[in-house]
Protein backbone atom coordinates (compact mmCIF):
# COMPACT_ATOMS: atom_id res chain seq x y z
CA UNK A 1 0.00 0.00 0.00
CA UNK A 2 1.22 3.46 -0.86
CA UNK A 3 -0.33 5.60 1.90
CA UNK A 4 2.13 8.46 1.44
CA UNK A 5 1.21 8.83 -2.25
CA UNK A 6 -2.49 8.81 -1.33
CA UNK A 7 -1.90 11.44 1.38
CA UNK A 8 0.05 13.59 -1.11
CA UNK A 9 -2.70 13.29 -3.75
CA UNK A 10 -5.47 14.21 -1.35
CA UNK A 11 -3.41 17.03 0.19
CA UNK A 12 -5.87 17.93 2.95
CA UNK A 13 -8.88 18.35 0.62
CA UNK A 14 -12.43 17.54 1.65
CA UNK A 15 -13.52 14.23 0.14
CA UNK A 16 -16.65 12.53 -1.09
CA UNK A 17 -16.62 8.85 -0.11
CA UNK A 18 -18.43 6.49 -2.46
CA UNK A 19 -20.18 3.34 -1.24
CA UNK A 20 -17.35 1.19 -2.61
CA UNK A 21 -14.86 2.93 -0.29
CA UNK A 22 -16.95 2.26 2.80
CA UNK A 23 -17.60 -1.34 1.76
CA UNK A 24 -13.83 -1.80 1.40
CA UNK A 25 -13.40 -0.30 4.88
CA UNK A 26 -15.80 -2.79 6.47
CA UNK A 27 -14.88 -5.87 4.40
CA UNK A 28 -11.42 -7.22 5.31
CA UNK A 29 -11.48 -9.46 2.23
CA UNK A 30 -11.77 -6.49 -0.15
CA UNK A 31 -8.63 -5.89 -2.24
CA UNK A 32 -8.54 -2.23 -1.19
CA UNK A 33 -9.40 -2.77 2.50
CA UNK A 34 -5.99 -1.61 3.79
CA UNK A 35 -6.09 1.56 1.71
CA UNK A 36 -9.67 2.28 2.82
CA UNK A 37 -8.70 1.80 6.48
CA UNK A 38 -5.69 4.12 6.09
CA UNK A 39 -7.84 6.72 4.37
CA UNK A 40 -10.70 6.68 6.86
CA UNK A 41 -8.86 5.97 10.11
CA UNK A 42 -5.76 8.07 9.43
CA UNK A 43 -7.00 10.94 7.26
CA UNK A 44 -10.73 11.39 7.82
CA UNK A 45 -10.86 10.60 11.56
CA UNK A 46 -8.26 13.22 12.50
CA UNK A 47 -9.66 15.89 10.18
CA UNK A 48 -6.78 15.96 7.70
CA UNK A 49 -9.36 15.11 5.04
CA UNK A 50 -12.91 15.72 6.23
CA UNK A 51 -15.37 13.67 4.21
CA UNK A 52 -18.96 13.83 3.05
CA UNK A 53 -21.33 11.09 2.07
CA UNK A 54 -24.65 11.08 0.35
CA UNK A 55 -27.78 9.53 1.85
CA UNK A 56 -27.65 7.26 -1.22
CA UNK A 57 -24.32 5.92 0.07
CA UNK A 58 -25.83 5.35 3.51
CA UNK A 59 -28.73 3.43 1.99
CA UNK A 60 -26.47 1.30 -0.21
CA UNK A 61 -24.09 0.59 2.66
CA UNK A 62 -26.87 -0.62 4.96
CA UNK A 63 -28.43 -3.15 2.57
CA UNK A 64 -26.03 -6.07 3.11
CA UNK A 65 -25.81 -5.70 6.91
CA UNK A 66 -29.62 -5.60 7.08
CA UNK A 67 -29.74 -8.85 5.11
CA UNK A 68 -27.16 -10.47 7.42
CA UNK A 69 -28.30 -9.41 10.90
CA UNK A 70 -29.65 -6.40 12.72
CA UNK A 71 -26.59 -5.93 14.92
CA UNK A 72 -24.36 -5.56 11.84
CA UNK A 73 -26.69 -2.87 10.49
CA UNK A 74 -26.63 -1.10 13.86
CA UNK A 75 -22.82 -1.06 13.80
CA UNK A 76 -22.75 0.46 10.31
CA UNK A 77 -25.46 2.96 11.24
CA UNK A 78 -23.56 4.00 14.38
CA UNK A 79 -20.38 4.43 12.34
CA UNK A 80 -22.10 6.77 9.88
CA UNK A 81 -23.86 8.70 12.64
CA UNK A 82 -20.88 9.27 14.91
CA UNK A 83 -17.62 8.96 12.96
CA UNK A 84 -15.55 12.15 13.34
CA UNK A 85 -15.26 14.45 10.32
CA UNK A 86 -17.81 12.47 8.29
CA UNK A 87 -20.84 14.54 7.27
CA UNK A 88 -24.05 13.80 5.39
CA UNK A 89 -25.04 16.18 2.63
CA UNK A 90 -28.78 15.93 1.97
CA UNK A 91 -30.23 15.48 -1.47
CA UNK A 92 -31.84 18.85 -2.13
CA UNK A 93 -32.77 20.78 -5.26
CA UNK A 94 -29.14 21.78 -5.93
CA UNK A 95 -27.96 18.17 -5.72
CA UNK A 96 -30.89 17.04 -7.88
CA UNK A 97 -30.06 19.66 -10.53
CA UNK A 98 -26.40 18.63 -10.60
CA UNK A 99 -27.37 14.94 -10.72
CA UNK A 100 -29.68 15.61 -13.68
CA UNK A 101 -26.81 17.38 -15.43
CA UNK A 102 -24.50 14.41 -14.80
CA UNK A 103 -27.10 12.00 -16.19
CA UNK A 104 -27.67 14.16 -19.27
CA UNK A 105 -24.02 14.92 -19.96
CA UNK A 106 -22.16 11.80 -18.82
CA UNK A 107 -24.82 9.08 -18.81
CA UNK A 108 -24.62 8.16 -15.12
CA UNK A 109 -27.37 6.09 -13.55
CA UNK A 110 -29.43 7.92 -10.95
CA UNK A 111 -27.74 6.55 -7.78
CA UNK A 112 -24.23 7.37 -9.02
CA UNK A 113 -25.35 10.76 -10.34
CA UNK A 114 -26.81 11.65 -6.94
CA UNK A 115 -23.65 10.57 -5.10
CA UNK A 116 -21.32 12.46 -7.44
CA UNK A 117 -23.60 15.51 -7.41
CA UNK A 118 -23.44 15.48 -3.60
CA UNK A 119 -19.67 15.86 -3.83
CA UNK A 120 -19.85 18.59 -6.44
CA UNK A 121 -22.39 20.63 -4.47
CA UNK A 122 -20.33 20.13 -1.28
CA UNK A 123 -17.29 21.41 -3.21
CA UNK A 124 -15.08 18.46 -2.37
CA UNK A 125 -11.55 18.22 -3.71
CA UNK A 126 -11.78 14.53 -4.62
CA UNK A 127 -14.41 11.92 -5.33
CA UNK A 128 -12.94 8.76 -3.77
CA UNK A 129 -14.21 5.51 -5.23
CA UNK A 130 -13.40 2.05 -6.54
CA UNK A 131 -15.70 2.55 -9.54
CA UNK A 132 -13.57 2.76 -12.70
CA UNK A 133 -16.53 4.09 -14.69
CA UNK A 134 -16.46 7.30 -12.67
CA UNK A 135 -12.93 8.12 -13.81
CA UNK A 136 -13.71 7.30 -17.43
CA UNK A 137 -17.01 9.16 -17.62
CA UNK A 138 -15.73 12.19 -15.73
CA UNK A 139 -12.43 12.46 -17.65
CA UNK A 140 -13.75 15.35 -19.77
CA UNK A 141 -14.45 17.27 -16.53
CA UNK A 142 -11.16 16.41 -14.79
CA UNK A 143 -10.34 20.09 -14.23
CA UNK A 144 -13.56 20.45 -12.25
CA UNK A 145 -13.95 17.00 -10.68
CA UNK A 146 -11.02 14.90 -9.48
CA UNK A 147 -11.63 11.17 -9.16
CA UNK A 148 -9.31 9.23 -6.87
CA UNK A 149 -9.34 5.44 -7.18
CA UNK A 150 -8.43 3.45 -4.06
CA UNK A 151 -7.13 0.65 -6.25
CA UNK A 152 -4.38 2.96 -7.52
CA UNK A 153 -2.86 2.99 -3.99
CA UNK A 154 -2.83 -0.73 -3.11
Q: What is the pLDDT of residues 104-125, one digit of tens each?
A: 999 999 999 999 999 999 999 9
Q: Which CATH architecture has domain 3-153?
A: 3-Layer(aba) Sandwich (3.40)
pTM for the predicted model, two decimal places: 0.95
User: For residue 86, what are the β-bridge partners?
Assistant: 51
Of the candidates 120, 52, 117, 55, the residue with the CA atom closest to the CA atom of residue 86: 52
Return the pLDDT at 1: 73
pLDDT tier for residue 53 given thresholds of 50, 70 and 90: very high
Element (H, E) at 15: strand 15-17
Percentage of residues in the chain having pLDDT higher than 70: 100
DSSP annotation string for 79-140: HHHH-TTEEE----HHHHHHHHHHHHHH---HHHHHHHHHHHHTT-SEEEES-HHHHHHHGG
C-alpha dihedral sign at 16, 49, 80, 133: positive
Cβ–Cβ contacts within 10 Å for residue 106, how many? Answer: 19
Amino acid sequence: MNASALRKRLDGHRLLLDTSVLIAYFEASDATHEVAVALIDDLVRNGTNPAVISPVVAMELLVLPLRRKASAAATVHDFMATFPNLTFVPVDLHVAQEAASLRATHGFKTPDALVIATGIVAQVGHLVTNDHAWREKLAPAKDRIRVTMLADYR
